[in-house]
Amino acid sequence: IQRIAVLTSGGDAPGMNAALRAVVLAGEHYGLEVFAFKHGYQGLLDNDHIRLCGADVLHILQYSGTIIKSARCKRFVDADAAELAAKNLDALDIDALIIIGGDGSFRGAEHLAQFWNGQIIGVPGTIDNDLYGTDATIGYATAVAIAMDALDKIRDTADAMDRVFIVEVMGRNAGFIGLSSAMAAGSERMILPELQNDKPLTVAALVKHIERVQKIRGDGSYVMVLSEHQWPGGAVALAEQLEAEYHLPCRPCLLGHIQRGGPPAPADRILASELGVHAVELALDGQTRVMAGIKNHAPVAVPLADTWQKKNPLNKNLLRIQHEIFNPVKKNGNGQ
Ligand code: ATP
């Protein structure tokens, strides 16, 4: 192969720039020409591309975001959109396309594969860590570090004022950021998709838990991590419900897109660097419709469809430790 192209798609994730840099540097190392399409799949439709050399990407790995921009492109699900993308890729003589994104972006990659004969390699770039086949996705470590930092700060004021806080974190439909940040910051409670699917928490049970924890510890400080989409109306609605129905003073805190910015954590920069190079090497190896992943410290190639069709489970041992061992209220006493 002679020419490869790369794009970043879907929600941006800290470390996408580091992955882009790695793709360009590896491409140069192996004598390939590297093009980048801007704004994800939208750039494929608009034929909005640039040629990238090592000098263009040398000092981008310390920044979150993505210098080639990302986007969500609703139109890409249509057959004629994928046909147009294929035409534009062929006109540029692209042999392999590297897609840095999450599960939606990989669905888009499979869709494109129905209409384009070039090789397609995915690189897992999402803060949610919700892709099967890799130990971690690019951006996850940074999102957890940011959430932990916020939880530590909230703890200071919760301690001082003997207050209950609900901190809402991202994660799409998975509890990775919720569980890891709760453990790293020593939260009293987690409301995660995996726990909610098992046995949904009622407000009455939550209030009982809060009151028992406060009584057992003789301390009012109680910090709860709420994964997004796990309570109707989110942290604000839950806080209002606790105040209105149970006269329990409570403050919500929504971390939102803060979880995607700032300097990427070392783990994300290193993972992105390894995966970017791995993706180029998979392309050189003739592979297609696979995601470049890392399993037990070894580079792996995972069929793209597996990455969203199979489930990446939460670490059961961490869940048990945080939810049971570290729970001040023991089983059959916490109402859940
Ligand atoms: P994140 O989960 O981190 O936000 P993502 O890659 O899952 O990242 P999505 O918005 O779900 O983000 O998907 C990115 C883009 O992929 C979509 O905007 C769309 O262009 C394309 N895409 C998603 N699903 C499909 C599909 N079924 N067919 C074709 N294209 C798709």
3-state secondary structure labels for all residues of 16-85: HHHHHHHHHHHHHHCCCEEEEECCCHHHHHHCCEEEECHHHHCCCCCCCCCCCCCCCCHHHHCHHHHHHH
Beta pairing, strands 290-295 & 298-303: antiparallel
Q: Is 181 in the pocket of ligand 1 (CB under 6 A)?
A: no
* pLDDT score for 332: 60
Residue among 7, 9, 78 whose CB has most ligand 1 atoms within 8 A, to mutate: 9
- Ligand 1 centroid distance, CA of 139 (Å): 17
Query: Cα 320–326–332 angle (5° rounding)?
Result: 75
Report how far apart, in Å, the C-alpha atoms of 217 and of each of 147, 178, 214 are. 25, 23, 5
Q: Is 73 in the pocket of ligand 1 (CB under 6 A)?
A: yes
Both structure tokens of 151: 């939880």
Q: Is 76 in the pocket of ligand 1 (CB under 6 A)?
A: yes
Both structure tokens of 322: 């945080």
Q: Is the dihedral of CA 317, 323, 327, 332 positive or negative?
A: negative
Q: How many CB atoms lie within 10 A of CB 319?
A: 19
- Ligand 1 centroid distance, CA of 39 (Å): 12
- Ligand 1 centroid distance, CA of 11 (Å): 9
Beta pairing, strands 33-37 & 3-8: parallel
Q: Is 171 in the pocket of ligand 1 (CB under 6 A)?
A: no
Both structure tokens of 293: 């992943």
Atom of ligand 1 nearest to the CA of 125: 3
Shortest-distance Cα residue to atom 10 of ligand 1: 10
Classify each residue of 56-66 as buried b or exposed e, where b means 16 or more C-beta atoms within 10 Å of its C-beta: bbeebbebbbb
Q: Which of 1, 251, 261, 227 is nearest to 129 (CA)?
A: 227
* pLDDT score for 198: 85
Establish whether this prediction's ipTM goes over 0.85: yes
Residue 94 and residue 43 in contact, taking contact as beta carbons nearer than 8 Å:
no
Mean pLDDT by 10 residues, the chain (336 residues): 98 98 98 98 98 96 97 97 98 98 98 98 97 98 98 97 97 96 98 92 95 95 97 97 95 96 97 98 98 97 98 96 94 52
Residue among 64, 107, 131 whose CB has most ligand 1 atoms within 8 A, to mutate: 107
Sequential DSSP letters for 218-276 = T---EEEEEETTSSTTHHHHHHHHHHHHH---EEEEE-GGGGG-SSPPHHHHHHHHHHH
Backbone angles phi, psi at 238, to 5 degrees: -65, -40
Q: Is 39 in the pocket of ligand 1 (CB under 6 A)?
A: no
Q: Is 43 in the pocket of ligand 1 (CB under 6 A)?
A: no
Question: What is the 8-class DSSP label of residue 186?
Answer: T
Q: Is the dihedral of CA 91, 93, 99, 103 positive or negative?
A: positive
Q: Is 49 in the pocket of ligand 1 (CB under 6 A)?
A: no
* pLDDT score for 331: 73
Both structure tokens of 4: 């490869």
Shortest-distance Cα residue to atom 22 of ligand 1: 108
Name every residue whose Cβ is closer than 8 Å to that of residue 116 and which is 6 or more positions away in sequence.
Answer: 82, 85, 86, 89, 90, 97
Q: Which of 231, 195, 201 is nearest to 316 (CA)?
A: 195
Question: Which member of 12, 128, 130, 268 is catalytic?
Answer: 128
Is 78 annotated as catalytic?
A: no
Q: Is 139 in the pocket of ligand 1 (CB under 6 A)?
A: no
